[in-house]
């Protein structure tokens, strides 16, 4: 009994989760009488619009009204649109079915269901470290407090839709993002769908097609090396292109080289970075007495690679810098000489005295003067 009840709950949850994608297509005919065109359906995977007709017509024309009209014609109740027509559906899709040489037409609109402004907002994704991807979003401004969101994605039309395996949650346990591993960039756009569920009302879904290479933050160039010579003075800098999961052509990248003088970090403006199209650069302003800091980053050029600058490589220091060894050595020698001279003097002054070393020499007693003094003393005592 419990197993049956659990199965019913799962089925109900899935139906609630995917119900907006199966929202009915609402149509309105151009005739006062009942239209011969009925039961309009859309196969989003194959991009095929189909319907039933109570009369046989030789030619149909179908139009998807978007930013630009996309037309398709056929002699059966089926119109096929280019599969490359990547068209999000969360805002609704408007179709027109016309019968050639008649005034018969049918206007249809796919209208997603759900509570207004309950769909997620500010959806964005970024690929980093070659194969890792993070997607984040914000809850709909009018979504109920118990709304929970779920992300599904399809890397290409040939792949199956997959749910996020590692959600990013907020303090209330609501899914507000997803982390992906082992992501490979394909040439066609990938499809992302964020659906929601709530016990209070139906939640609108949000979907988007994204060209993955446009959201990739390129890794820094690898194997950066510097080889400098004194005569002639100069350096040859070499590196390898950043590693990606989908591009191996070295000509698909452009590089920015940043070299700064480490000895003068605050004097004047910093040197302007140099942009090159290959993996070798000759630094001609090299001075062996200076020390430099080198960084390199890359971006895409004429290929399916992000045209924004990627991450900087780890700083590399090169150059000898000023030779302080001789100056320091002479200073230490002078300091040692002064110490050798002053130390004995200080010790001598501390523990010895010139008076004790050169005390006065005893003199013989002057008898004449001594008698005079004695007589004077006697005379004084008599009085």
Tens digit of each residue's pLDDT (9 = 90 or more) over 87-101: 899 989 999 999 988
359 pLDDT more than 80: no
pLDDT score recorded for residue 4: 43
Q: Which two tokens stand for residue 10?
A: 């799962």
End-to-end CA distance of the chain: 147
- Tens of pLDDT, residues 294-331: 999 999 998 999 999 999 999 999 987 655 455 556 66
More confidently predicted of 3 and 231: 231
- Percent of the chain beyond pLDDT 70? 75
For residue 11, is pLDDT > 80?
A: no
Q: What is the pLDDT of residue 378?
A: 44
Q: How many CB atoms lie within 10 A of CB 67?
A: 6
- Sheet arrangement for strand 292-300: 274-276, 253-261, 292-300, 316-318
The CATH number of domain 21-111 is 2.60.40: yes
Report for 104-113, 214-223, 312-321, 340-349: range of highest mean pLDDT: 214-223
CA 117/CA 144 separation, integer angstroms? 10
* Cβ burial, residue 181 (10 Å; 0-12/13-18/19+): exposed
Tell which CATH classification among 3.10.180.10, 3.60.150.10, 3.20.20.70, 2.60.40.10 matches the domain 225-318.
Answer: 2.60.40.10
Whether 159 has a pLDDT exceeding 50, the answer reads yes
Res 151: pLDDT: 98
Average pLDDT over the chain reads 82
Residue whose C-alpha is closest to residue 179's, from 190, 163, 159: 163
Q: Tell me the residue length of the chain.
A: 383
Answer yes or no: are the C-beta atoms of 87 and 76 closer than 8 Å: no
Query: Which of the following CATH numbers is that of domain 121-214: 2.60.40.420, 2.40.30.10, 2.60.40.10, 3.40.630.30?
Result: 2.60.40.10
Alpha-carbon distance of 255 to 260, in angstroms, equals: 16
Residues 6+ apart with CB under 8 A from 344: none
pTM score, whole prediction: 0.72
Amino acid 362: pLDDT: 59
Highest mean pLDDT among 201-215, 331-345, 354-368: 201-215
Q: CA triplet 289, 238, 295: central angle to 5 degrees?
A: 65
Q: Of the given ranges (29-38, 215-224, 329-338), which has the lowest mean pLDDT?
A: 329-338
Burial (CB count <10 Å: 0-12, 13-18, 19+), residue 237: buried
Phi, psi of 332 (to 5 degrees): -65, -35
Parts of the chain belonging to CATH 2.60.40.10? 121-214, 225-318
- For the residues 187-200, what does the mean pLDDT come to? 94
Q: What is the pLDDT of residue 212?
A: 96
Note the pLDDT of residue 33: 63
pLDDT tens column, 266-294:
554 566 899 999 999 999 989 888 899 99
Q: How many CB atoms lie within 10 A of CB 40?
A: 19
- Name the phi and psi angles at 113, rounded to 5: -90, 170
Buried b (16+ CB within 10 A) or exposed e, 85-100: ebeebbeebebbbbbe
Tens digit of pLDDT for each residue in 100-143? 889 899 999 988 889 999 999 999 999 999 999 999 999 999 99
**Per-residue pLDDT at 73:** 87
CB 76, CB 61: distance < 8 Å:
no
């Amino acid at each position: 009994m419990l197993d049956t009840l659990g199965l019913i709950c799962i089925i109900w949850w899935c139906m609630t989760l995917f119900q907006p994608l199966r929202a009915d297509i609402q149509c309105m005919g151009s005739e006062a009488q009942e239209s011969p065109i009925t039961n309009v359906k859309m196969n989003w995977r194959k991009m095929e619009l189909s319907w039933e007709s109570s009369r046989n017509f030789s030619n149909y024309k179908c139009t998807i009204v978007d930013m630009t009209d996309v037309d398709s014609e056929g002699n059966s109740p089926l119109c096929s649109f280019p599969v490359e027509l990547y068209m999000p559906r969360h805002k609704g899709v408007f179709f027109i079915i016309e019968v050639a040489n008649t005034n018969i037409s049918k206007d249809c609109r796919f209208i997603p269901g759900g509570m207004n402004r309950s769909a997620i907002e500010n959806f964005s994704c970024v690929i980093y470290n070659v194969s890792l991807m993070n997607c984040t979003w914000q809850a709909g401004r009018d979504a109920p407090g118990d709304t929970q969101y779920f992300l599904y994605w399809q890397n290409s039309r040939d792949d199956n839709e997959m749910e996020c395996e590692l959600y990013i949650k907020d303090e209330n346990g609501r899914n507000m993002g997803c982390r992906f591993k082992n992501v490979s960039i394909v040439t066609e756009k990938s499809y992302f769908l964020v659906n929601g569920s709530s016990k209070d009302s139906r939640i609108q879904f949000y979907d988007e097609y994204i060209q993955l290479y446009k959201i990739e933050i390129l890794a820094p160039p690898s194997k950066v090396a510097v080889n400098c010579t004194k005569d002639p003075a100069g350096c040859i800098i070499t590196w390898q292109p950043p590693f990606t999961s989908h591009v191996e052509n070295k000509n698909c990248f452009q590089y920015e080289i940043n070299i700064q003088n480490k000895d003068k970090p605050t004097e004047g403006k910093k040197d302007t970075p140099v942009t090159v199209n290959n993996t070798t650069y000759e630094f001609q302003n090299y001075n062996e007495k200076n020390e430099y800091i080198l960084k390199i980053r890359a971006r895409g050029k004429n290929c399916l690679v992000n045209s924004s600058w990627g991450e900087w490589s780890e700083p590399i220091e090169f150059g000898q810098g000023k030779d302080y060894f001789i100056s320091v050595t002479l200073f230490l020698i002078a300091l040692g000489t002064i110490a050798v001279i002053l130390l004995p003097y200080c010790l001598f002054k501390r523990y010895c005295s010139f008076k004790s070393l050169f005390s006065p020499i005893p003199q013989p007693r002057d008898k004449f003067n001594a008698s005079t003094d004695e007589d004077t003393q006697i005379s004084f005592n008599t009085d």
